[in-house]
A and B are shown apart, each in its own frame.
Chain A
Amino acid sequence: MSAAPDDDVVTTRYDWRLLLRLLRYLRPYRLAMLVSFLLIVLMAALDLVGPLLTKRAIDEHIAKGDAAGLLGVAALYALTLVCAFAVRFGQVYVLQMTGQEVMLDLRRELFAHLQRLHVAHFDRNPVGRLMTRVTTDVDAVNELFTSGIVTVFGDLFTLFGIMGVLLWLDWRLALVTFAVLPPFFLVTNWFRKGARDAFREVRQKVAAMNANLQENLAGMSVVQLFGREAKNLGGFAAINREHADVNMRALFYYAVFYPAIDLLAAIGIALILLYGGGRVLGDALTLGALVAFVQYSERFWRPISDLSEKFNVLQAAMASAERIFTLLDTKPQVVAPPAPRALDEPRGRVAFEGVTFGYDPAHPVLRDVSFTVEPGRSVALVGATGAGKTSVISLLARFYDVQQGRVTFDGVDVRELDPAELRRSLALVLQDVHLASGTIASNIRLGSPISDERVRSAAEAVHAHRFIAELPGGYDAEVKERGSTLSVGQKQLLSFARALAHDPKVLILDEATSSVDTETEQLIQDALRTLLRGRTAIVIAHRLSTIQHVDEILVMHKGRIRERGSHRELLAQRGLYWRLYQLQYKDQELAPVPAAPPAPAPAG
């Protein structure tokens, strides 16, 4: 029932357009590719020399008792070997190093593209799958370059080279030797298809087994509490069994393939002996040539079976390339206008003018929403889940674009601004605090040029300094596993410090709903007051105490603003807000009352 696209798609045909597009990545390295290509031809040629030298040694020196000449041939052989070593190493080196450069470029392009993509893209697509594009798929494409294209040419050269030499040595015997080729291709083809299918199944079983194990480990205490150990072991063992069976199926192809190839090779040698031996007897062929034939025929099979193996690699790489290009072809939906208007001195006036918006345009979540926040003033959005509060934030930060009406910043439509410039004037504090690996300081600073003092003073202002100072290492303490060692409240304060350190004109805050202990709650509320001071603020409020700090409250219901006004006015109306308020009061945690009555709302 899974609607998600299968990761294991294998393109069944070679798409030449795909290949051409891939070749474009080799453009900057055409010289290296050319060198590698020449080296591989040279290598194929050098590999052909050995048996020919053996033939000459037998026919012209050993058979004639010429010890001095033999030394010359042996020396020549040794020289060929050293050359082959150098060429082979050079070829692998140049090719692999180029492959690394191409991967670097491809990854860079992918990552940069991900930075431009629409945020919603990451909600829709599991992050794990997108990560695979940047890692595994790029590696697979590298295979295409390194053991693919170039090496295939090398194999083909070797193959045709050997065939040529054999025909030149004795065309009749050569044709007899080639008689084994048709069955050889049949066996190889059978193996290639069978092994590919079997291995696809193996991969699926491995993934399923890992997923099952991972889940059981993560939920082990639930498994134990409910006494599901035996049942879950049964489930795991079933997948484990399938995994073993599928592996045996894959093994079968190998177990048959290798002996079959050996048998065909033996038949080839028998044919050479039978027919060639006869010709030696009839003096139509030298003994050395016969030995050379046997040696060549042994080298004959390698490129052929290599080629068939590579066929699978190439196919997998093509599938990866297809997935990578599909991602690269996904157009960013929010783009900077060609000639963005500049904000000289941002003041922070925010206005929604008749905005209608829906993630799916057929189902608007905001309908004809209008409001204005003057610089330095603050509004709170309240309303039940699904009222459209979060969408307001997304539109202002221009994660999405409106369908009707407009959102303006300092009177300019946000679509006419460079998104980066707009966002630099905003600071966003989300419910789920995102912490990256790094230090506490780097999580406050992010990548912005903010001095240590400012990081610290920001942390002090929002009461984060105290707990940071207690961490081993203080501001340089490592944030582990996305801050799992920090409490919810501490993470909140950190995200406040981050916002304050960036000193934005406009603060956008989606208050966290999760419960924190009373002391932390007090700190958070106090920090919030600091944060709001002198800033335009839009707050999605869940706490009564927060609402009291703001200048205007917008009550949203089903995508519309139903009531607006101050806390006092709204309570007096005895409308929606009043009802929400009653509900919230009941919901109130065992929270202490602020020591002093909340600061009176500034006159306005």
Chain B
Amino acid sequence: MLRHAIDDLAAELSYRKLGLYAALIVALAAAEGVFRYQMRMVLIGISREVEYELRNDLFAHLCRLGPDWYQRHRIGDVMSRATNDMSAVRMVLGPGIMYTANTLATFAGTLAFMATISPRLLALALFPLLLVSVLVRHYGRKIHDLYERAQEQLASINVLVQENLTGARVVRAYVQEAHESERFEAANREYRERNRALVRTYGALYPGIQLLMGAGTVLVLYVGGRMVIAGSITLGEFVAFGAYLAMLHWPMIALGWVVNLFERGEASLGRIHEILDEPETFADAGRAPAPELRGEVHFRGLDFGYEPGRPVLHGIDLHVAPGSLVAIVGPTGSGKSTLVNLIPRLHEAPPGTLFVDGVEVRDWPLRALRDAIGFVPQESFLFSDTLLANVAFSPRPGTAERAREAAAVARLDKDVIDFPLGYETRLGERGLTLSGGQKQRAALARALAADPRILVLDDALSAVDTQTEEEILQGLRARRGRASGTTFLVSHRVSTVRDADLIVVLDEGRIVERGRHDELLLRGGPYARLARRQQLEAEVEAATA
């Protein structure tokens, strides 16, 4: 358009024609604007939708992976895949495709016009521009790597500061402020060094692009100018050629950039697929919904180990009648936790060794099995939500109605009175921080609110003071009287296990003794020895008193 206008200008023309050209330029820009708006909204919109779906899929899949998998993977790494890698993939689907289309369209249009003006000039002018693409691609990758290196160092600085702040008391007490500052200074300097390397590379990139583009312009100016003088092209063609060349600047930069996008996106997609391709840890037996569970648990000659060759449990034979209270005691590392973890299939027992109500655990529909079990883990994990939402956590019907009663049994109620908003108090990062004992009691209430047939307390009252623990055990007894549920109690404390229907003593993965408190005392085995030691200690105490 510009070309005709200028040619006409050189060859005299009317004002009317000039107006027409001007109107055409604006109309074309408007049309192109509408098109570009549409393209951006549609293409990027699609990429956002795909990202949304993919991220949900990833989350859903993460829900299907068991504790084994989580032990092998760090949360930070999984997070990075769900965020950084996800956005790298989206960049390909959105901007990647959009700029590719854009570049191709611009190329197709401009190159054709430029070729009609002069193929020779085109070849000449295009050369430096191609170099721009190569430059962006090559340095783009290098800059990305250097940037990652700098970010890694920033992450180390983060860790350093975090450790320093969480350990502030130790740092003060051992007068380590100067030493810490030295460590920080070293990390800080390393970060500067890595950034300097980054600046050296990227500082040259943009000026380099400008230089190459300018070179194209100079070539056109000189060679094209000579062609105008020689009469092989018109002045209008010459000016138009320059304008077309300017239109190619951005697509050329985009070209190099897009190649890097695709490369990064592919690697990221691979990392995401590593998770998605991970087989579900517990394939569901998928049988018809089970009848109401009674709560009978039977271990039959069970051997179990997390890794082959390193067994944790040996030949466990244990039958637990519905409604009974079984206590499991033994030193740290004797396999107590592992044993109870097998019941809700947090880890998978070998075939034919673990039965609930006479049916092998792996043949139960997973949901039905877990719904029937209230599990209180060693480390109580609560969500940053209200206290009530944490207690009424189970989606089973009636949970919300039972929440307060459950909190009462767990003796959480006496603390709630002091909370600013009672049960509506928010926990976590921006809310209230509970003490260890409060957390454990909340976790117990959460399990009770689900009204389970089988209750498992995995050393879950260790941070609760003795008096409160006694109250809780009384509450549980009363509840058992009403609901006749089965209870597994893993504990260190004699006061906790004394009233159990059955006490099982584990040592190095074997059941070394079983019976009621009184029987075991009479038998004079390990349990009796433990109890006697305590007794003896009391007598020693009494003597020194």
Task: Across the interface, name the chain B residue whose C-beta is closest to A118.
Answer: B168
Mask of B133-165 contacts with A, CB within 8 angstroms, 1/0: 000000000000000000000100111011111
Q: Please choose the segment from B265-273, B313-321, B423-431 that sits at the chain A interface, where 4 or more of its residues have CB less than 8 A away.
A: B423-431
12 contacts between A and B (CB under 8 A): A53-B221, A127-B166, A226-B446, A244-B51, A256-B37, A258-B36, A423-B175, A428-B174, A434-B167, A448-B176, A514-B463, A593-B534
Contact: A84 with B395, CB < 8 Å? no
Is B75 in contact with chain A by the CB < 8 A criterion?
Answer: yes
Complex CA distance for A581 and B541, rounded to whole angstroms: 10
Complex CA distance for A378 and B214, rounded to whole angstroms: 82
Contact: A85 with B174, CB < 8 Å? no
Complex CA distance for A223 and B344, rounded to whole angstroms: 13
Contact: B168 with A119, CB < 8 Å? yes
Mask of B197-221 contacts with A, CB within 8 angstroms, 1/0: 0011001101110110011011001
Contacting residue for A104 out of B173, B188, B204, B543, CB 8 A: B188
Contact: A74 with B218, CB < 8 Å? yes
Contact: A266 with B28, CB < 8 Å? yes
Q: A111-B181, A131-B161, A263-B29 are in contact. Are A57 and B196 (CB under 8 A)?
A: no
Mask of B218-256 contacts with A, CB within 8 angstroms, 1/0: 100110011011000001001100110010000000000
Is B288 in contact with chain A by the CB < 8 A criterion?
Answer: no
Task: Across the interface, name the chain A residue whose C-beta is closest to B229.
Answer: A65
Q: 8 tightest A-B contacts by CB?
A: A447-B179, A259-B33, A266-B29, A428-B173, A74-B222, A270-B22, A517-B332, A434-B167
Neighbouring B residues of A471 by C-beta, 8 Å? none
Contact: B63 with A240, CB < 8 Å? no
Contact: B204 with A251, CB < 8 Å? no
Complex CA distance for A82 and B211, rounded to whole angstroms: 7
Neighbouring A residues of B36 by C-beta, 8 Å? 255, 258-259, 262
Complex CA distance for A270 and B29, rounded to whole angstroms: 11
Q: How far is the CB of B360 from chain A (nearest CB, A)?
A: 19
Complex CA distance for A168 and B446, rounded to whole angstroms: 79
Contact: A225 with B531, CB < 8 Å? no
Contacting residue for A587 out of B229, B382, B495, CB 8 A: B495
Neighbouring A residues of B157 by C-beta, 8 Å? 107, 134-135
Most chain A beta carbons < 10 A, residue from B177, B182, B495: B177
Contacting residue for A77 out of B83, B210, B221, CB 8 A: B221
Contact: B172 with A397, CB < 8 Å? yes
Neighbouring A residues of B228 by C-beta, 8 Å? 62
Contact: A77 with B218, CB < 8 Å? yes
Is B45 in contact with chain A by the CB < 8 A criterion?
Answer: yes
Contact: A244 with B182, CB < 8 Å? no
Is A392 in contact with chain B by the CB < 8 A criterion?
Answer: no
Task: Across the interface, name the chain A residue whose C-beta is closest to B29.
Answer: A266
Q: How far is the CB of A571 from chain B (nearest CB, A)?
A: 4
Contact: B211 with A572, CB < 8 Å? no
Complex CA distance for A240 and B90, rounded to whole angstroms: 14
Q: How far is the CB of B60 from chain A (nearest CB, A)?
A: 5
Name A246-277 residues within 8 Å CB distance of B: 247-248, 251-252, 254-256, 258-260, 262-263, 265-267, 269-271, 273-274, 277
Is A61 in contact with chain B by the CB < 8 A criterion?
Answer: yes
Q: Please choose the segment from A19-27, A192-200, A214-222, A549-557 that sits at the chain B interface, where 4 or more of its residues have CB less than 8 A away.
A: A214-222
Is B12 in contact with chain A by the CB < 8 A criterion?
Answer: yes
Contact: A214 with B79, CB < 8 Å? yes
Q: A119-B168, A590-B492 are in contact. Are A597 and B544 (CB under 8 A)?
A: yes
Complex CA distance for A487 and B421, rounded to whole angstroms: 37
Is A294 in contact with chain B by the CB < 8 A criterion?
Answer: yes
Please tell me the size bucket of the interface on B. 35 or more
Most chain B beta carbons < 10 A, residue from A78, A225, A267: A225
Is A100 in contact with chain B by the CB < 8 A criterion?
Answer: yes
Contact: B229 with A67, CB < 8 Å? yes
Other CB < 8 Å A-B pairs besides A1-B431, A103-B192, A419-B172, 8 of them?
A4-B430, A127-B166, A214-B79, A247-B48, A267-B26, A281-B15, A446-B174, A447-B180
Q: How far is the CB of A61 from chain B (nearest CB, A)?
A: 7
Q: Please choose the segment from B298-306, B370-378, B473-481, B513-521 that sits at the chain A interface, where 4 or more of its residues have CB less than 8 A away.
A: B370-378
Task: Across the interface, name the chain A residue whose C-beta is closest to B230.
Answer: A67
Is B293 in contact with chain A by the CB < 8 A criterion?
Answer: no
Is B493 in contact with chain A by the CB < 8 A criterion?
Answer: yes
Complex CA distance for A3 and B67, rounded to whole angstroms: 35
Mask of B403-444 contacts with A, CB within 8 angstroms, 1/0: 000000000000000000100001001110000000000000
Contact: B394 with A227, CB < 8 Å? yes
Contact: A274 with B22, CB < 8 Å? yes
Neighbouring B residues of A467 by C-beta, 8 Å? none
Contacting residue for B221 out of A54, A93, A218, CB 8 A: A54
Complex CA distance for A53 and B66, rounded to whole angstroms: 70
Is A485 in contact with chain B by the CB < 8 A criterion?
Answer: no
Task: Across the interface, name the chain A residue whose C-beta is closest to B239.
Answer: A291
Neighbouring B residues of A114 by C-beta, 8 Å? 161, 164-165
Contacting residue for A278 out of B18, B30, B185, CB 8 A: B18
Is B127 in contact with chain A by the CB < 8 A criterion?
Answer: no
Q: Please choose the segment from B1-9, B108-116, B351-359 that sits at the chain A interface, where 4 or more of its residues have CB less than 8 A away.
A: B1-9
Is A2 in contact with chain B by the CB < 8 A criterion?
Answer: yes
Complex CA distance for A428 and B175, rounded to whole angstroms: 11
Neighbouring A residues of B465 by C-beta, 8 Å? 385, 587
Complex CA distance for A88 and B176, rounded to whole angstroms: 45
Name A9-63 residues within 8 Å CB distance of B: 50, 53-54, 57-58, 61-63
Contact: A100 with B239, CB < 8 Å? no
Name B309-330 residues within 8 Å CB distance of A: 329
Is B393 in contact with chain A by the CB < 8 A criterion?
Answer: yes
Contact: A270 with B26, CB < 8 Å? yes
Q: Please choose the segment from A158-166, A230-238, A350-358 that sits at the chain B interface, where 4 or more of its residues have CB less than 8 A away.
A: A230-238
Neighbouring B residues of A220 by C-beta, 8 Å? 62-63, 65, 67, 70
Contact: B495 with A81, CB < 8 Å? no
Contact: B175 with A248, CB < 8 Å? no
Is A342 in contact with chain B by the CB < 8 A criterion?
Answer: no
Q: How far is the CB of B400 from chain A (nearest CB, A)?
A: 13
Task: Across the interface, name the chain B residue whose C-beta is closest to A425.
Answer: B175
Neighbouring A residues of B530 by C-beta, 8 Å? 590, 592
Neighbouring A residues of B446 by C-beta, 8 Å? 226
Is B82 in contact with chain A by the CB < 8 A criterion?
Answer: yes
Neighbouring B residues of A216 by C-beta, 8 Å? 59, 62-63
Mask of A370-407 contacts with B, CB within 8 angstroms, 1/0: 00000000000000010000000000010100000000
Contact: A227 with B225, CB < 8 Å? no
Mask of A92-125 contacts with B, CB within 8 angstroms, 1/0: 1100110011011001100110111001001000
Is B34 in contact with chain A by the CB < 8 A criterion?
Answer: yes
Is A326 in contact with chain B by the CB < 8 A criterion?
Answer: no
Neighbouring B residues of A513 by C-beta, 8 Å? 463
Contact: A588 with B170, CB < 8 Å? no
Neighbouring B residues of A70 by C-beta, 8 Å? 221-222, 225-226, 229
Contacting residue for A448 out of B13, B174, B177, B492, CB 8 A: B174
Contact: B370 with A227, CB < 8 Å? yes
Complex CA distance for A88 and B544, rounded to whole angstroms: 86
Most chain B beta carbons < 10 A, residue from A81, A298, A482: A81
Complex CA distance for A291 and B495, rounded to whole angstroms: 95
Contact: B22 with A271, CB < 8 Å? yes
